[in-house]
A and B are shown apart, each in its own frame.
Chain A
Amino acid sequence: MGNSWYGPLADPSGNAGYAADHPPRVGFFTDTSVCIGCKACEVACKEWNALPADGPHHDQPDLLDLTATSYDNTGALGASTYRHVAFVEQTRPRAAAATVDLGMPLPANDGDATEVRWLMASDVCKHCTHAACLDVCPTGALIRTEHGTVLVQDDVCNGCGYCIPACPYGVIDQRKGSREEGGGGAFKCTMCHDRLGAGLQPACATACPTESIQFGPLDELRERAARRVETLHERGVPEARLYGHDPDDGVGGDGAFFLLLDEPEVYGLPPDPVVTTRDLPSMWRHAAAAALTVAATVAAAFLGGRR
């Protein structure tokens, strides 16, 4: 079977060469409508994976970095942060909110009344069906696992950094620090590969107290997510929508997808990511044409002999 670079792909592990009896593709469904922003996932991930501190003071872990924008002081996913809880504070017109009548007297809504809503969402590597990081890795350090996830083999990675700008979600990064801490290499969520083999759930999903992070076979998660969106729509939350669930999207669907309550970019997610490798055949064609131009130009410059 040839490599598929773009479009729907039912079985990425099979496509990568695993025998037909490989385990089912697993993933995360992160339902942000029940996330309480407790960051248990971040802590469980750090603990299980023994991740070092990060940020500008990574060599002085006692120094905390404060973003001074919200309760989110983690900021973003990174080489030592495989789960990141985003915290969005929005002021919006009260009319836009779905309210439950508790029989309490409410102040008259004269049209400019506003309310605050908090959006919390635990972000993670998307384990794309078509993973740009994996495609561009020159050493083969990044692989597709038998579970359909995307994994960095740290003993192979030479720290070239190509995967970092290739990721359309800005997930993977190079770790700073000493060799013992893995410095120089590229790191990202492994979906707790070491737990999967032992039949355990990833640490974040295990720790999540509200089942905002759900782990399981991807097919089941997609069905469950579709039902959840329907339920929310029925309950008067029309802004609920899925993100990354669609096998027809620019990355062939994510192994880790989300239920969001606003546009993706509000949470720091790209609205319509496309795997860069989609255009690679065109890139090679243009590069070949340009290289032929070079060869022809030099050859033509030598025509006309030695005058």
Chain B
Amino acid sequence: MSPRRVGRGERLMVPDAEFSSYYGRPILKSPTWKVPDVPLYLYLGGAAGTSACIAALADVTGRGPLRRWGRLAALTGALVSVGALVHDLGRPRRFLHMLRVLKPTSPLSVGSWILAPFGTLSGLAAASELTGIAPAVGRAAGIGAAALGPAMTTYTAVLLADTAVPAWHEAHRELPFVFAGSALAAGGGIGLAARGDVRPARRVAIAGAVLELVAGTVLERRVGFARSAYTGGRPGRLLKLARAATATGAAAAAAGGLVPGRRGRMLSLAAAALLNGGAAATRFGIFEAGVVSARDPAYTVQPQRARVEARRAGVDG
């Protein structure tokens, strides 16, 4: 037995935090990624991905206003995402080094190769939309962006999960589905703000909100020891807020489809705001849960210590 037991006093986040550490110092280095840059990019990338899908199908099914809205949202999301990513680099002048190689073992490399063509194609589609020039090119580019859109919504989950950060890594099976749901809710919500027939966007928004809520609950159940990183402190408050906004937003979206006229439209706009606020808060909450779990050595030591003890018991028994 080791005699050095460091309790965490009032900073205790984890029950029974009796474990050894080196003066309570973190074992892992916390991500140097900046807030709000990176959580914002997680949210916007997802919203843009869904918007591109909605825009392409709205185009094919002849829903002009929804197409226009979706294309502009896809471009805006992609542009701000790229801006946030470049701003986050320690050496922003070298941002093109991201495309120096394509490495399947690096989710950031794969992501850059998804984001770059997605942004370009979304830009072409939006340019054609705004100028009216070359609608055929705009349609082709929009369909291309839509093909990449689903990947845009979930690769960022792998980006977080493929680290040693306990709260992210231990959730690597559930995070992509949380991000998918959150992206659908956000993109569908943005579509709700369009004029004309927004019924498909409404269905996307409601389905996405349900997926986001269910996947988030499953994540917290299955993530094991890192659960308290998601439920306690600031991340816990952010995620509670996110759930409330998403659930209310989904209800408002459904009600907006039932109530005719101006009141229905107001409900849809409120749903758009709530769903996007919820999706953004989800990404901020998950990001911060990871930082909490990296800073506190308990999240690193205790599950690993339990593994070691289980193996020892297996060998002895």
- Residues of A near any B CB (own CB < 8 A): 3, 5, 67, 69-70, 75-76, 86, 88, 90-92, 132, 135-141, 156-162, 164-174, 183-186, 262-263, 265-273, 276-277, 279-280, 282-284, 286-295, 297-302, 305-307
Q: How far is the CA of A145 from the CA of B66 in the complex (A)?
A: 53
Whether the pair A301, B172 counts as a contact (CB closer than 8 A) is: no
Which 10 pairs from chain A and chain B are nearest by CB? A159-B90, A184-B90, A268-B22, A290-B176, A158-B94, A291-B150, A138-B109, A301-B203, A272-B304, A138-B108
> Which residues of B, 84-106, contact A by the 8 Å Cβ criterion?
88-92, 94-95, 97-98, 100-101, 103, 105-106
Whether the pair B50, A263 counts as a contact (CB closer than 8 A) is: no
B16 CB to nearest chain A CB (Å)? 15
B226 CB to nearest chain A CB (Å)? 14
Whether the pair A293, B297 counts as a contact (CB closer than 8 A) is: no
Q: Mark B240-275, 1 if CB is under 8 A from A, else 0.
A: 000000000000000000000000000000000000
Q: Is B301 an interface residue (CB 8 A)?
A: yes
* B158 contact set on A, CB distance < 8 A: 280, 283-284, 287
* A302 contact set on B, CB distance < 8 A: 57-58, 61, 200
Total inter-chain residue pairs, C-beta < 8 Å: 260
Residue of A nearest to B204 (CB): A301
Of the candidates B23, B108, B151, the one having the most CB atoms from chain A within 10 angstroms of its own CB is B23
* A164 contact set on B, CB distance < 8 A: 29-32
Whether the pair A306, B105 counts as a contact (CB closer than 8 A) is: no
Whether the pair A91, B3 counts as a contact (CB closer than 8 A) is: yes
Whether the pair B162, A268 counts as a contact (CB closer than 8 A) is: no
* A293 contact set on B, CB distance < 8 A: 177, 180, 211
Whether the pair B105, A277 counts as a contact (CB closer than 8 A) is: yes
Partner of A292, one of B23, B32, B108, B150: B150
Whether the pair B23, A270 counts as a contact (CB closer than 8 A) is: no
Q: How far is the CA of A91 from the CA of B5 in the complex (A)?
A: 11
Whether the pair A287, B176 counts as a contact (CB closer than 8 A) is: yes
Residue of A nearest to B305 (CB): A271
Partner of B176, one of A136, A174, A289, A305: A289
B77 CB to nearest chain A CB (Å)? 14
Of the candidates A167, A173, A290, the one having the most CB atoms from chain B within 10 angstroms of its own CB is A290
* A269 contact set on B, CB distance < 8 A: 27
Partner of A283, one of B98, B149, B161: B161
Q: Is B26 an interface residue (CB 8 A)?
A: yes
Whether the pair A158, B89 counts as a contact (CB closer than 8 A) is: yes
Q: Is B45 an interface residue (CB 8 A)?
A: no
Q: Is B217 an interface residue (CB 8 A)?
A: no
Q: How far is the CA of A302 from the CA of B59 in the complex (A)?
A: 11
Q: How far is the CA of A307 from the CA of B257 in the complex (A)?
A: 13
Q: How far is the CA of A135 from the CA of B154 in the complex (A)?
A: 20
Q: Is B120 an interface residue (CB 8 A)?
A: no
Partner of A265, one of B22, B162, B177: B22
Partner of B98, one of A88, A158, A282, A289: A158
